[in-house]
Structure 1
C-alpha cells in the first residue's frame, strides 16, 4: 500500500471532494458538520493526553474508542455509504447503545447528581466539557443538514448521546483526578 500524501492541491480553489467524486465548497454545510466533528475529536484527544495514571483507565479506554467512532461519524458524513454498492453505515444503533452502556457504567461510580455542574475542575474534565460543547454544535449543524438532504438518523442519535457521555466522562475525570464536581453557586452575586 502506498503511503498517503498529506497535500493534494485539489482544494486550493476552495472546494473539496466527497468520496464518489462530487466536488463541494469547503464551506458547504456537510463539510462544516464533519469539520466540527473533527474538532470535537481533537478536544477528546487533548483530554485523553492529560489522563495519566491508572485512575483514569476506565474513562480513557472509553474515550479512545469514541475517538475512533468520531472518525467514523466524519467518514459517514464526508462519504455517505453507497448502499447501491453494498456499503453500510459505520455508526449504527449499536454504537448509540454502546454509549448508553458507557454512560451507565461511568455514572454508577459517581455520586448522584443533585445540582448543575460548571464546566471545569481538572484539566482533562475541562477539555471534555469543551469537547461536549463542540459536539452539541455539531449536532445543531447536523439537524440543519438533515433539513436539506438525507442523512442517516443514527448519526444524530450518536452525537446526542455522545454529549451526554462527555458530560459524565468529565465528572469521572474530575473524580479520578481527586476533584469533586464544580457546582453552580446560585447564591454567588456578580
Structure 2
C-alpha cells in the first residue's frame, strides 16, 4: 500500500474480502469490527506482567482473532477461494483446558466479582466485556448469514477465559477480589 487512506470509504461504504461493498454500519462490519476492538484490548492485556501461560496464550490469540475477523469479513462463497478458516473445535478445547487449569488454582467462586482492583485485572475485564459484545454481534450476524457455530462457541469460551484470567491475575498480584453480594 502506497497510502494508508484510499478515500473509497468516504461515502459510508467499505469492501469485504472478495470486493463486495457494504455499508459501514452493516452487521457483518459490526461483528468483525468488534473482534478487531477485542484484539486491541488483548494486545493491551498481553503487554502487562503475567504468568507465562497466559502471556503465551494471548500472543497466539491475537492471530486467532485476526483469523476470525477475516472469516467474518468474507461472504460464504469466498471463504474457500481465499482459504479462510476461523477456528476449529481444537481451538475451543484449548481454551477449555486453560480455563480448567487456571480455575484449579483459584478459590471456589461464591460471589459475583466486580471488575477492577488493579489495572491488569481491569484490562482483563474490559477484554471480557468486549468479547461478550463481539459474541452478541456475531450471533446477530448468524441470524442473517450462515456462520460456523464453532466461531460462536470459541468467542463464548473466550469470554469465560477472560473472567478466569482476571481472577487468576488478581490472585497472582495479591489483590483482593471486589465481591458483589447484592442478592
* TM-score normalised over the length of structure 1: 0.87
Runs of 4+ in structure 1 displaced over 6 angstroms? none
Provide structure 2 residue ranges, at least 5 long, that are not aligned to the other structure: none
Provide structure 1 residue ranges, at least 5 long, that are not aligned to the other structure: none
Q: 1:18 Cα shift?
A: 0.9
Q: 1:145 Cα shift?
A: 0.8
* Residues 83-122 of structure 1, C-alpha deviations (whole Å, 9 max, x = no match): 5538251311111111111111111222221221111121
CA distance, structure 2, for counterparts of residue 42 and residue 83 of structure 1: 24
Secondary structure of residue in 2 paired with 1:117: strand
Q: Does the 8 Å CA contact 1:80/1:89 hold for their aligned counterparts?
A: no
User: CA 1:83/1:34 → structure 2, altered by over 3 Å: closer, same or farther?
Assistant: closer
**1:16 and 2:14 aligned:** yes
User: Cα RMSD (Å) of the superposition?
Assistant: 2.0
Q: 1:8 Cα shift?
A: 2.2
Residue 181 of structure 1: aligned partner: 177
**1:118 and 2:111 aligned:** no
* Residues 35-78 of structure 1, C-alpha deviations (whole Å, 9 max, x = no match): 111111112222222x22xx532222222222221111111101
Q: How does 1:50-89 map to 2 (within 5 A)?
A: 51-52=48-49, 55-80=50-75, 82=78, 84-85=80-81, 87-89=83-85
Residue 150 of structure 1: aligned partner: 146
* TM-score normalised over the length of structure 2: 0.90
CA distance, structure 2, for counterparts of residue 15 and residue 128 of structure 1: 33
